[in-house]
Structure 1
């Protein structure tokens, strides 16, 4: 029987003795084969993955299903909450007719379950404030969110290099603007000319305007202290991995900001975690929803950094799953590293859609059970084409899968539940208040003030110098006159005259006698 052959092929391909997560059951000839269980070995989840599909195809619930089962296995998860509707994972799901129908078709037991959840926010309004210092963010990622060209990016690199060399912490935008001003219009302009190169006023002004524009959008608050500690992403509660949600519902109009911030987190995780090798289950799974925003209009240096992080971070025991609408949203160099694929329905309404469909099919192993081009456009909600890596790293049989329902609540928490969730969070309290440490702004301000005071003293000293010179010249002239031979002779005569008047002299008495003898 065709279906029995299908069941055996799927079991052989997807059965593992290692810890796995259950995704659902295979579909063959429009029939759900409950015995054809589709499992994903957790050992292979640090080989990264891709979840794609058209709007409304069930991508968000697939992410929820993956996150729940990872959490239950003790694996922490980080994921963005694009619409604020994943917070419901903090409470048990509710049974309804659709869920009952699905679990019966899969032949599984449904147990409503709540999971430990931490909610974060880049604005600080919807969760614990996530911050990073500008130095931690680095020039490459900052170039992306400031939308700088190559010349402006080069200047930004000079700022960071100078700050590193001179031990100037750039914590927030005030620090960055101060360094920019100091090296462009301030005393530092001459200092950097030989070692770093001159910064033109026009380029500096453009960078400054872009920084100010982000400040006006309220984005500047993601830069500062207390900086987010990545160790907080690895928490467990009662043996379950904590699901960390980044609620970006309030900054959806600035997609480059949150997508780039998440990449900054990944880069820091890579830098700080030790090598782990191959583990039976990952240390952390990182979901990047709306991944196309990460790659859109990205400069080459930025794409190179993504490629490097994806290549190397798996050795740290961390897996990355990209979530987007089309496979083509992910650059080929990154796509080649994504071993686990969950593809929901593709809508082939336009010639471009048809082209995208054909290209997507080429990324899957061929299957004897499906006309893949036809099947891809006929997938129902909560169904997907799946291929993953088995425990030996070999791609599994391509299978259309009827996905299991999430065990937690599929929707957002109510306002009161949400507030209560935040109030009970120690991390919300930990990151709530910003700290203003001594950084580049204060250091350079003090330096510039000192230099101004020294300059003022020097000017005052130069102004006083002519007066002192004049007095010295007067004294010097008098001394020269008084020390001349004529002056000395006159002085002797004067002294003799003075003393003669007081005491009389031989000469005077002799003159007196002569005058008396004559008369």
Structure 2
């Protein structure tokens, strides 16, 4: 029953998450102090996430959440007044009213949402090394590559840019003196070596790891147009926060890519947003599902970055909520930053499970009326132990509560519903077409091509080379009996050109040889080889 016997609802400064002997209020002014939602599989974590996301949206706070199983997509459609939902609402003293929320779907692979892209430069060597599972030496070479790109004005946008740059910093074995000086990429190779010993073997290992990432679909993540994070921080026409859902079922097949991508988003928010201090409500709330993937085997440098982002992004007005099965999945130095807690049931079947129960119980402010460690194992589906920050920012005593029912649909939407939502999306067309701008790959290819052209000119000139090509095609350096069909046609074309040069050749050439071949041979080869006799 509702604690006071009165109907409960969200207020201007609080979100009602559930109720037991006391209502469980999540205060918006403390929502940027981060949070943790934990519990065993099937105990109701996703519903708790949806309830909080709906509350933030109603309060005008944009939300970003990863949708692992597709269940969260139902937040975009009205809920249904089913018997168990009406009963739960009645037990809590709530008046159930179906609702739906403005939703934008995102998908790294561009299949079930708008594509999400970042440039290689934005990702940076630290996160990219994590994504590629590089060791310290390989990460060092990757840092050298980024430094060389910066000093030479080489934009790293997509995977082919990074591959071209890695090829460019490989030392050329066996080249000395004039040969080394003639290498168009010599300055880049020299710059790379000045930072340390860059070996062919190490670069080759990085290239192979890039191939693994490409095979897993990572190529689609790097490119332009890159995501503008301000598109996450919008409200709808009614002033309610937009809910951004990352479709992550396929992305989760590569856990390292998934975790690194979400960490990149947090890092970009941290770097781009201005300091705002403590606000009446957050500017954005970020739900990180399957959060244990972020911390698994993370090197110290990465853990330091995660802790820094979590600790300081609060002052940018962003709240981060980690969702995982076990509180032990989150390192202590991060766990200490998470002030708002929702703990669903845990099962103590193994010694590690028992340790997790004890750890979860110890993180709550004790309630004399509850044996927290015992209750954690007794909670039913849809029940939770909660403790939110209150007053001057201190944790409330832990309470056993029933989580309120969501107002929107519980469960996934249909493909047809998803398509309709995407067609009406406020960012439709902005990210859906990839752009291949000039970047490191094109610049390096132009340098190589420019050197090749210079060498060609010094050994006889362009016209001389074209003359050789024309001689081969027209058959003037081949015995009559050895002419190919193409050479016979080309020789006839050349004779026709000589006979009809004054009377206009292009039209007649098309008649004799055929439109496609006449155009190709006439304009490209004959014009060049015979000094521009043909004109358009």
TM-score, length of structure 2 as denominator length: 0.80
1:221 and 2:220 are equivalent in the alignment: yes
Larger mean CA deviation between 146-155 and 157-166 belongs to 157-166
Distance 2:384 2:292 in 1: 20
Q: Matched residue of 2:367: which SS?
A: coil
Task: Look up the match of 2:31.
Answer: 45
Distance 2:288 2:379 in 1: 24
1:395 and 2:395 are equivalent in the alignment: yes
1:329 and 2:329 are equivalent in the alignment: yes
* Cα pair distance change 1:395/1:431, threshold 3 Å: same
Conserved? CA contact 1:18–1:280, under 8 Å:
no
Conserved? CA contact 1:189–1:198, under 8 Å:
no
* Alpha-carbon shift at residue 455 of structure 1 (Å): 5.5
Distance 1:195 1:328 in 2: 44
* Alpha-carbon shift at residue 22 of structure 1 (Å): 0.3
* Cα pair distance change 1:460/1:159, threshold 3 Å: farther
Q: Matched residue of 1:408: which SS?
A: coil
Deviation per residue, 1:138-175 (Å, 9 max, x gap): 11111111000011011111111111122211001100
Conserved? CA contact 1:76–1:284, under 8 Å:
yes
* Alpha-carbon shift at residue 270 of structure 1 (Å): 1.1
Conserved? CA contact 2:28–2:282, under 8 Å:
yes
Distance 1:183 1:459 in 2: 29
* Alpha-carbon shift at residue 459 of structure 1 (Å): 8.1
Distance 1:264 1:348 in 2: 35
Structure with greater Cα Rg:
1
Match among 17, 22, 25 for residue 23 of structure 1: 17
Q: How does 1:460-471 map to 2 (within 5 A)?
A: none
Distance 1:159 1:260 in 2: 20
Task: Look up the match of 2:436.
Answer: 436
1:139 and 2:111 are equivalent in the alignment: no
Task: Look up the match of 1:57.
Answer: 43
* Cα pair distance change 1:138/1:373, threshold 3 Å: same
Task: Look up the match of 2:112.
Answer: 126
Task: Look up the match of 2:202.
Answer: 203
Q: Matched residue of 1:427: which SS?
A: coil
Q: How does 1:53-452 map to 2 (within 5 A)?
A: 53-185=39-171, 186-188=185-187, 190-193=189-192, 195-237=194-236, 238-452=238-452
Q: Matched residue of 1:23: which SS?
A: strand
Task: Look up the match of 2:496.
Answer: none
Distance 2:424 2:192 in 1: 53
* Alpha-carbon shift at residue 428 of structure 1 (Å): 3.5
Distance 2:189 2:430 in 1: 43
Q: Matched residue of 2:26: which SS?
A: strand
Q: Matched residue of 1:384: which SS?
A: strand
Q: Matched residue of 1:432: which SS?
A: coil
Distance 1:56 1:94 in 2: 21
Instruction: Point out where structure 1 has 5 or more consecutive residues left out of the alignment.
Output: 27-32, 462-519
Deviation per residue, 1:354-409 (Å, 9 max, x gap): 11111221111122011112111000111111111114111111111111010000
Distance 1:16 1:406 in 2: 13
Conserved? CA contact 2:144–2:192, under 8 Å:
no
* Alpha-carbon shift at residue 260 of structure 1 (Å): 1.1
Deviation per residue, 1:245-275 (Å, 9 max, x gap): 0001222211221221111111111111111
Distance 2:91 2:297 in 1: 44
* Alpha-carbon shift at residue 450 of structure 1 (Å): 2.4
Q: Matched residue of 2:162: which SS?
A: helix
TM-score, length of structure 1 as denominator length: 0.82
Distance 2:189 2:161 in 1: 20
Task: Look up the match of 1:467.
Answer: none
Q: CA RMSD in A?
A: 2.2
